[in-house]
Chains A and B, each alone.
Chain A
Amino acid sequence: MNTTTTRRSGFARLLRAEWTKFRTVRGWVLAMAGAALITVLLGLLSASGSHTSCDGACPAVPVGPGGEAVEDKFYFVHRPLNGDGSITVRVTSMTGQKRLPDSTPGSRRVASGVVPWAKAGVMIKESMKQGSTYAAVMVTGAHGVRMQHDFTQDVAGRPGGVSQRSPRWLRLTRSGADLTGYESTDGRQWSQVGTAHLAGLPDAVQIGLFAASPGDLTVTPGDFGGSSAASRFAAATAVFDQVSLRGSAADGAWRPDDVGVTLNPDGSPHHPGGFKESGDTYTVTGVGDIAPLSDGQQIENTLTGVLAGLIVVIVVAVMFITTEYRRGLIRTTLLAGPRRGRTLVAKALAIGAVTFVIGLVAATAAVTLGKAILVANGNYVLPVAPFTEPRVIVGTAVLLGAAAVLALAVGTLFRRSVAAVITAIVLIVVPYILATASVLPAGAAQWLMRLTPAAGFAIQQSIPAYAHVLGNYTPSGGYYPLAPWAGLAVLCGYAALTLGLAVFQLRRRDA
């Protein structure tokens, strides 16, 4: 036998020894099963606590080309276009109104002004169907000229607003499935804003002018912790002139359409937009937004119980090593595996793998069953990209596994179970709770979710935050400052670092 195989079989032997130790302590096995059970049950409890009901059937939510739920609600003044072509307009004004919070209940207060992401400009859209592919060049309330397409994509042009004195020229050209947006301040010197490739764009499309305004968002800290966001009605009105169309656009009048307008019970439109034509000047008023939707249940809402399961996992992982110290078994263990570093790594691998498997089973059950309960209760569960759900489930299992390794390492450093359990919980669980459910300001909460091992919870976020949509993007709203895998990497980094420290200490100290 050569040395490599000896070494490998030696490690396999250590691993098996650790697995046997875990398997044969009935309390630990039961506790781990309990952790899975509590994770699933708490998840299902929170899923069944969420009800939504609509008068009659809930309206169907449009889905964008990328598979995400979208809001596709705006005023569109359009004509059919066949094949290549372009539209050029001058925007001379953008005004709006927004509803203010009621100072006395029941009386409406409306002020003039536009919200930051109010938008108006030119658009080419596959069809009038909500959620169909599009590209648009627009002026916005406070973010300058933008080119956006397919709801999630946004490119910035030049900053600044529009007025009679400094109008903006916008142009959108189509060549096949490629659309290019341009802007100009004088109609002669043009600069490109961005391009979009709309896969599967048919020959016949709609081309025209649009206006939309998302609601005015206010985020207030919750009375007993967390925060809540409220959105109030807002509308935007834009004035266009110098409209010119190129290509084989149909002649005749412009067709106005209030895309996606909600209807009152009597069938009249609720908060309608509008269109006025006088000579060469067109005035378009729009309500709504063309953007990804974040209102709805997220799949990670079914993983509430992970926090409770995590505490059980931490306790078991700590005891996996501290019990050896208490009973003196550690001396036998180190006698059998005198290379202490490898012995501890085998131990970490064993507890990490067990927790991963348990976590995988629990998370799969919680998400699958929880989603079914949510849907049965009339909730809208936000659809996600095909790999997002497996990422959330597997990521949650990795989160639990890494936490177990971290807890084991802390247990090795302290040798005392209470101090180790507390330290592990204060490192992982407490920051998460302070960041999501306390009166802590959002900025501080975000730093907690960046710097502490609780950053790993970012792996559960299924709906990304979009820079071009205002939202309550705080940990309490379910949005974390780090990208999912980056957050998980922070936790794994902590686990690896602590394990390294534990190996160092184990080798240095007498057992």
Chain B
Amino acid sequence: MRRHLLAEWTKLRTVAGTGWLLLGLVALTVAVSVVAAAAVSCTSAGCAYDPAKISLFGVQVGQAMAAILAVLAISGEYSTGMIRTTLAAMPRRATVLAAKAAVVTGLTLAAGTVAVLASMLVGRRILLENGFTRGPGTPMLSLLEGPMLRAAFGSVLYLALIALLSLGIAAAVRDSATAIGVVLGLLYVLSILPFMIADPDWQKLLWQFSPMNAGLAIQATTHLSTLPLSPWAGLGVLALWAAVALLGGGLSLRLRDA
């Protein structure tokens, strides 16, 4: 396994795009979060917005970068033919995928931590300058309180799970353009579907089913009781998606010719 990890790490490290994608993840997340925080205006009665969701808003765009990184880690090899060399050198295919998953997860966790921390700190500062309060006389939660910590830590995990989901799909689909289309369709289109259905039961069901909506429940710090899923259960739904995708990708890698 160590040999596998080293090989995958070397490959990903020496590909030109990796650094840019990780940089893009951080930059996009922070930039979009800052814009969202600056756009929030509050009335005298308090602010109707969730401070954690707003200051981590950029994750919804930044996750696309994590998805590309993961997709390219495997479909890039298919488009260049490198995959045949890889599998000749390391014939245990499941281990190859596991090594890829570990390396991609590690990189995403690292970049995600930087992105989330920066977004939280900058977003909070902007919100406070805009006079953000939870209600009359109730100040905003500090970053060290339970729900805020959970939102920050969970968002990093969220990004890693998105990367794993993308890796699994790319291993199954192989073509990079198709894989990225499927991943983004799964994330964005499923996320909006609940809002287009009037029936509340369907709405709730689709919301719970959508990897992005359910996964981002981890960022909620207000109105927790009205969420269709508790924050950790929501992240669990995304983890389930990632597990199923990895399983499908792994099987396809094992059973099909490269």
Which positions in A face B, CB cutoff 8 Å?
42, 45-46, 49-51, 220-221, 223-226, 297, 301, 304, 307-308, 311-312, 314-315, 318-319, 322, 326, 379, 417-422, 425-426, 429-430, 432-434, 436-441, 443-444, 476
Contact of A322 among B64, B72, B177 (CB under 8 A): B177
A301 cross-chain contacts in B, Cβ below 8 A? 196
B192 part of interface (Cβ distance < 8 Å): yes
B188 touches A430 (CB 8 A): yes
A437 cross-chain contacts in B, Cβ below 8 A? 191-192, 195
B36 part of interface (Cβ distance < 8 Å): yes
B39 part of interface (Cβ distance < 8 Å): yes
A438 cross-chain contacts in B, Cβ below 8 A? 57, 60
A319 cross-chain contacts in B, Cβ below 8 A? 177
B36 cross-chain contacts in A, Cβ below 8 A? 440, 444
Interface string of B70-104 (1 = CB under 8 A from A): 01100100010000000000000000000000000
CB nearest to B36 among chain A residues: A440
CB nearest to A50 among chain B residues: B198
A223 touches B192 (CB 8 A): no
The size of the chain B interface, using a CB distance under 8 A, is 47
A226 cross-chain contacts in B, Cβ below 8 A? 195
B188 touches A421 (CB 8 A): no
B61 cross-chain contacts in A, Cβ below 8 A? 426, 430, 434
B57 cross-chain contacts in A, Cβ below 8 A? 438-440
A429 touches B195 (CB 8 A): no
Given the contacts A418-B180, A425-B64, A439-B54, A224 and B213 also touching, CB distance less than 8 Å: yes
In Å, the complex CA distance between A426 and B31 comes to: 14
CB nearest to A313 among chain B residues: B181
B192 cross-chain contacts in A, Cβ below 8 A? 307, 432-433, 436-437
CB nearest to B203 among chain A residues: A49
CB nearest to A225 among chain B residues: B195
B185 touches A421 (CB 8 A): no
B6 part of interface (Cβ distance < 8 Å): no
Given the contacts A51-B199, A433-B191, A444-B36, A312 and B181 also touching, CB distance less than 8 Å: yes
B64 touches A422 (CB 8 A): yes
Contact of B48 among A220, A224, A307 (CB under 8 A): A220
B41 cross-chain contacts in A, Cβ below 8 A? 441, 443
CB nearest to A431 among chain B residues: B61
A42 cross-chain contacts in B, Cβ below 8 A? 193
In Å, the complex CA distance between A267 and B40 comes to: 48
Interface string of B181-207 (1 = CB under 8 A from A): 100110011011101111100110001
B228 cross-chain contacts in A, Cβ below 8 A? 224
What are 25 A-B pairs with beta-carbon distances under 8 A?
A: A42-B193, A46-B193, A49-B198, A49-B199, A50-B197, A220-B48, A221-B48, A223-B223, A224-B226, A224-B228, A225-B195, A311-B189, A421-B180, A421-B181, A425-B184, A429-B188, A429-B189, A430-B60, A430-B64, A430-B188, A439-B49, A441-B40, A441-B49, A444-B39, A476-B195
Task: Given contacts A223-B227, A439-B54, list 12 more A-B pairs with CB under 8 A.
Answer: A49-B202, A50-B197, A220-B48, A223-B223, A224-B220, A315-B178, A417-B177, A418-B177, A437-B192, A439-B49, A439-B53, A441-B39
User: B56 to nearest A CB, angstroms?
Assistant: 10
In Å, the complex CA distance between A46 and B195 comes to: 9
B177 touches A318 (CB 8 A): yes
User: B60 to nearest A CB, angstroms?
Assistant: 7
Contact of B71 among A221, A418, A425, A433 (CB under 8 A): A418
A46 cross-chain contacts in B, Cβ below 8 A? 193, 196-197
A221 cross-chain contacts in B, Cβ below 8 A? 48-49
A318 cross-chain contacts in B, Cβ below 8 A? 177
B223 cross-chain contacts in A, Cβ below 8 A? 223
User: B34 to nearest A CB, angstroms?
Assistant: 12
User: B133 to nearest A CB, angstroms?
Assistant: 16
User: B195 to nearest A CB, angstroms?
Assistant: 5
B68 part of interface (Cβ distance < 8 Å): yes
Contact of B181 among A223, A304, A315 (CB under 8 A): A315
Contact of A421 among B50, B177, B197, B226 (CB under 8 A): B177
B227 touches A224 (CB 8 A): yes
B176 part of interface (Cβ distance < 8 Å): yes
User: A477 to nearest B CB, angstroms?
Assistant: 10
B35 part of interface (Cβ distance < 8 Å): yes
User: B83 to nearest A CB, angstroms?
Assistant: 15
User: B248 to nearest A CB, angstroms?
Assistant: 19
A322 cross-chain contacts in B, Cβ below 8 A? 177
